[in-house]
Structure 1
Amino acid sequence: MMASLNSSQELTSNSRHQVLLTLLLGGTVISFGNSALNPAIPIFMSVFDVDIVMGGWVLNAYVLSMSVGLMLSGYLHKEFAFKPVYLTAIIGFMLGSVIGMCAPSMTMVIVARAIQGLSGGLTIPLSIGMLYQIYPQHRHGRVMALWGIVIMMSLAFGPLIGAYLVEQFAWWTLFAVTLPLSAVVTLMVWRLLPNIGSPKASKTFDTIGFVSLLIWLLALMTWLSTLKTDFYTSLTSVIKTSLVAAMFLISFMVWWAYERRQSQPLLNVRLFRNTVYLHSTIISVTQTLGLMVGLLLLPILVQEVMGESALWTGVILMTATLMSSITTHFAGKRVDKHGARDIGILGIILSASSMLLLAWCLYQPTLWLLMLIMSLQGVGVGLAYLPTTTVGFSSLAKEVVTEGAALNNISRRIVSTIFITLVTVYVAGRGAQLLATGSTQSVGTAIQEVFVMLAVILFLTIFSARRLPKAV
């Protein structure tokens, strides 16, 4: 077992490789466990006889609890050594898998997902922070490219394997399948990871910031879950909805102002004063929106509109993610020498163009055309997402990279959760409106409009890419 180390001590090359392998396997477990359940939500609804609102909490519980983990990660990284925090998170993920595997009700499935999300929220920023700490800056691009490839592969094969498991075996195997690798990762963490980051002084936890943001998130998600029932019913309902939205916005601005004044905040929002980090985060958030919309609408298109098997959804997503992984590897090597501006702009253009092509494809969709367009999106994400994020993290001081990773991740998750909910509201409301006028393709038309709006949003982020440095 490695001896405990201070962050100032250098690891040998072999030790770095051992740490990298351990963190990659840990990230694989978390990412696979997340994505494998995406095609299984209809199965959960059928087995436990619940509606779509309850079924949606399989995703919402994971996202919310992951946000909590992300909020805690910066504090825990400074208060405790890396190893015990990471080990606790992996064991927590295993506990969630066991609870999910044995769950007698939908409520317990949601509890299991919440535990897994909390653990995942801790491991991701801690892993990124560790990698940035043990590798020199000129290796950051290559290391993050490898990290991105492994995570993307896990995300790619997750839905395909998940669809196969639920079709050939049972829903509980989605939880059970992660247990063997989780046990291996636990042993590797115990034996191979050093105690880098042991605290020298205690850090006050921002309890007010944590509790207020948690309440805000829970209240927001509860309110968003009710929007579908009364969004387009009357002018009065629209006004009430606007007023509630304004209240949430104002309360969030108050929380933001409070965090900026804290010497030891829950989330270090002052990092957004760094222009490079700010614009790289904007790009990563919008690229995440594109990915999440694809994950939401592609299964509907393939399985409901085209009447194909869920396995085809997995195949298309896997192909797109493989293309993204290959592109990320190329982009990671290039960003170390040439920066992320030009390559980021190209990736944004490809991602936005794929949204427009998806809107056009809905007139007469085919599996091969969908696979081609989603592969184009994968290339765009590979060029735009990780390279720009890497440059943003590299612009920060090493000691705040973990906080920067947490802020980036929680921003992506909160914004994407709100956006996806609004997309479902828009599709339902716009579809009903078009149906009332006699349209025979009401939902399809609404989905087309969503893709066009998303393309516009992505194109606008070219201005953020232009603010990134040409070389690191």
Structure 2
Amino acid sequence: MTSQTTIEKAPQAPEPASAPAKGLRGHPWLTLFAVAVGVMMVALDGTIVAIANPAIQRDLGATLADVQWITNGYLLALAVALVTAGKLGDRFGHRQTFLIGIAGFAVSSAAIGLSDSISLVITFRVLQGLFGALLMPAALGLLRATFPAEKLNMAIGIWGMVIGASTAGGPIVGGLLVEHVSWQSVFFINVPVGLLALALGLVILKDHRAENAPRSFDILGILLLSGAMASLIWGIIKAGESWGWGHLYTWFFLILALVLFVVFAVWENNAKEPLIPLGMFRSIPLSAGVVLMILMAFAFMGGLFFVTFYLQGVKELSPVDSGLRLLPLTGMMIVSSPLAGALITKFGPRIPLVGGMVCTAVAMFGMLSLTPESGTLATSLWFAVLGLGLAPVMVGATEVIVGNAPLELSGVAGGLQQAAMQVGGALGTAVLGAVMSSKVSSEFPANWKEAGIPTPPAPGLEQAAEFGMVPQELAKAPGMTPEGLAAISKVIHDTFMSGMGLAFMVAGVVAVVAAAVAMLTKRGANAEAGAGGAHI
């Protein structure tokens, strides 16, 4: 109850630390550079590992479920720990948690590269996710505390540019490393980057702590929220992976998550120093920003999941070529992120956010026109439009969430922003995966029959249609002719394209809903209060 009263006070002015810094330590733009190097390492790791998965599977003899958990274990740890990690930064200082996160992430990356079993790889990926959770909200907390309000949007714009470029550049870097070095190098590369980020952080970063930051920990709140998040993400992942959405276990974990969230809300409403003061959500713009981040990640990550299979399966491109085909997405995010920051500073976040989600919806609906014969120009156009739409949302939603939170809760707000993105991505991948699977199951038999293939489909071909990939061993099957292989390949590709089209349709509708939610956003109250802050 005490915390809710605090939330309702008049907006705070930026803390005095935002005045121009002398020397290296605490300099705003150098702080941004040091933070960006660390964030780049974590963002790159989100997509670079996907390219390495086939090589890991072959080298360690892993099953499909094992390979999925290389990603899912990381995602689960990251999503569960982000808000608690933000609280740690608010309590002990964002510089300390950032440096610990950098060091732990680099060490766990090296441990993965040295692992000789799939169980060790998954274990250290979970550890990697926990350290990544320490790092990400601390980065936002450092930017919030270092930059004056009128420069914060531009700083977050560059920060978003680094995340966007690293995320989209992952497949290119991963493809080059896997093809020319080894899958282990995908993880070893984090060691020198981590050492650089650690050295920069020790020299440049300045510790910032709000005077009224919480001094105790809501242990029960941490346990309840962690349990709720774990149950939610676990249920989503397993539903898309093996159980299905109608399975008893799926509903058990989803209902358990709902119960734990309700108990968490009741507890937080009465806790003396709650983990997440619920008064934060009385801010409609902050709540809208969280929902917007979930919906954006749902559409983006869910849609991008199928794009990679389209490029490598249907178009039969190599990992490196697939990454290069995504360059328009990367390039547009690099160019438009700082521009988005400038526009948000001048006009506020609402118009750029609505425009960004409209562009995202246009890109998703536009990708419905892709066919197995679509050329580079067609894919590049829609990837560029997608990058143009995502940039202002990544920047603007972050500013809305962090900017509308009290300064002493900037770490919690940063954790909320990142957790919303991870949950949205998990939902998008799982839900759109289920949509794809259902569409393939309903159309594959009819497409097979329509193709006039006399023999029934071999086991596994329907699953191949979910990925758009024709099994390599099919060409060597007894009695297989070039005409027969071409007919089967067409059935697999056509069925995949139909399922992908439905998935893009759902993602487009979600993006339209997100555009409506964006209408509820506005500039952070603290940013408005600091309009006359110090100049850099």
Q: How high is the TM-score relative to the length of structure 2?
A: 0.80
1:74 to 65, 86, 90: 86
* Aligned pairs (5 A) from 1:284-299: 284-299=293-308
1:449 shift after superposition: 0.8
Query: Is the CA contact (8 Å cut-off) linking 2:81 and 2:226 kept in structure 1?
Result: no
Gaps of 5+ in 1: 1-6
2:198 to 186, 199, 202: 186
Find the counterpart in structure 2 of residue 458 from structure 1. Answer: 511
Q: Distance between the aligned counterparts of 2:123 and 2:250, measured in 1?
A: 30
The answer to whether residue 270 in structure 2 is matched with residue 261 in structure 1 is: yes
* Aligned pairs (5 A) from 1:41-440: 41-197=53-209, 203-227=215-239, 228-229=241-242, 231=244, 237=246, 245-362=254-371, 364-438=373-447, 440=491
Secondary structure at 1:396 match in 2: coil
Q: Distance between the aligned counterparts of 1:132 and 1:201, measured in 2?
A: 15
Q: Distance between the aligned counterparts of 2:368 and 2:317, measured in 1?
A: 19
Report the residue type matching 1:121 in the other structure.
A
Change in Cα spacing, 1:230 to 1:101, as seen in structure 2 (3 Å) is closer
Which stretch has the larger CA shift, 178-187 or 220-229?
220-229
1:415 shift after superposition: 3.0
1:241 shift after superposition: 5.2
1:251 shift after superposition: 3.7
1:140 shift after superposition: 1.0
Which stretch has the larger CA shift, 64-73 or 242-251?
242-251
1:230 shift after superposition: 5.1
Gaps of 5+ in 2: 1-14, 449-490, 529-536
Query: Is the CA contact (8 Å cut-off) linking 1:268 and 1:404 kept in structure 2?
Result: no
Change in Cα spacing, 1:314 to 1:200, as seen in structure 2 (3 Å) is same
Find the counterpart in structure 2 of residue 445 from structure 1. Answer: 498
Query: Is the CA contact (8 Å cut-off) linking 1:156 and 1:319 kept in structure 2?
Result: no
Query: Is the CA contact (8 Å cut-off) linking 2:172 and 2:323 kept in structure 1?
Result: yes
Change in Cα spacing, 1:64 to 1:244, as seen in structure 2 (3 Å) is closer
Change in Cα spacing, 1:126 to 1:203, as seen in structure 2 (3 Å) is same
Secondary structure at 2:326 match in 1: helix
Q: Distance between the aligned counterparts of 1:288 and 1:76, measured in 2?
A: 25
Q: Which entry has the higher C-alpha Rg, 1 or 2?
A: 2
% identical aligned pairs = 19
2:39 to 27, 35, 38: 27
Which stretch has the larger CA shift, 39-48 or 439-448?
439-448
1:229 shift after superposition: 4.1
Aligned residues: 463
Find the counterpart in structure 2 of residue 4 from structure 1. Answer: none
Q: Distance between the aligned counterparts of 1:124 and 1:226, measured in 2?
A: 26
1:34 shift after superposition: 2.9
Report the residue type matching 1:468 in the other structure.
T
Find the counterpart in structure 2 of residue 3 from structure 1. Answer: none
Q: Deviations over 1:340-385 (max 9, x none)?
A: 2222222111100111111221464333311221111000111333
Query: Is the CA contact (8 Å cut-off) linking 1:125 and 1:405 kept in structure 2?
Result: yes
Report the residue type matching 2:128 in the other structure.
Q
Change in Cα spacing, 1:137 to 1:363, as seen in structure 2 (3 Å) is same
Secondary structure at 1:461 match in 2: helix
1:194 shift after superposition: 2.1
1:326 shift after superposition: 0.8
Q: Deviations over 1:388-421 (max 9, x none)?
A: 4323422332222221111121122123213312
Change in Cα spacing, 1:225 to 1:151, as seen in structure 2 (3 Å) is closer
Query: Is the CA contact (8 Å cut-off) linking 1:69 and 1:119 kept in structure 2?
Result: no
Query: Is the CA contact (8 Å cut-off) linking 2:299 and 2:510 kept in structure 1?
Result: no
Query: Is the CA contact (8 Å cut-off) linking 1:11 and 1:134 kept in structure 2?
Result: no
Report the residue type matching 1:72 in the other structure.
T
Q: Distance between the aligned counterparts of 1:380 and 1:202, measured in 2?
A: 37
Q: Deviations over 1:179-225 (max 9, x none)?
A: 11211221222222223228778632222222233334444444445
Report the residue type matching 1:313 in the other structure.
S
Q: Distance between the aligned counterparts of 2:201 and 2:372, measured in 1?
A: 51
Query: Is the CA contact (8 Å cut-off) linking 2:291 and 2:420 kept in structure 1?
Result: no
Which stretch has the larger CA shift, 327-336 or 260-269?
260-269
Change in Cα spacing, 1:306 to 1:268, as seen in structure 2 (3 Å) is farther
Q: Deviations over 1:249-281 (max 9, x none)?
A: 344333333334333233344322111111122
Q: Distance between the aligned counterparts of 1:270 and 1:113, measured in 2?
A: 35
Which stretch has the larger CA shift, 435-444 or 337-346?
435-444
Report the residue type matching 1:109 in the other structure.
V
1:138 shift after superposition: 0.8
Q: Distance between the aligned counterparts of 2:183 and 2:121, measured in 1?
A: 11
Q: Distance between the aligned counterparts of 2:212 and 2:237, measured in 1?
A: 44
Query: Is the CA contact (8 Å cut-off) linking 1:31 and 1:151 kept in structure 2?
Result: yes
Change in Cα spacing, 1:254 to 1:445, as seen in structure 2 (3 Å) is farther
Report the residue type matching 1:398 in the other structure.
L
Query: Is the CA contact (8 Å cut-off) linking 1:362 and 1:448 kept in structure 2?
Result: no
Change in Cα spacing, 1:238 to 1:405, as seen in structure 2 (3 Å) is same
1:143 shift after superposition: 0.9
Q: Distance between the aligned counterparts of 1:153 and 1:83, measured in 2?
A: 24
Q: Distance between the aligned counterparts of 1:308 and 1:286, measured in 2?
A: 30
Q: How high is the TM-score relative to the length of structure 1?
A: 0.90
Q: Deviations over 1:53-107 (max 9, x none)?
A: 2111111111122124312223212321333322211110111111011011111
Q: Distance between the aligned counterparts of 2:505 and 2:258, measured in 1?
A: 26
Report the residue type matching 2:100 in the other structure.
T
1:155 shift after superposition: 2.1
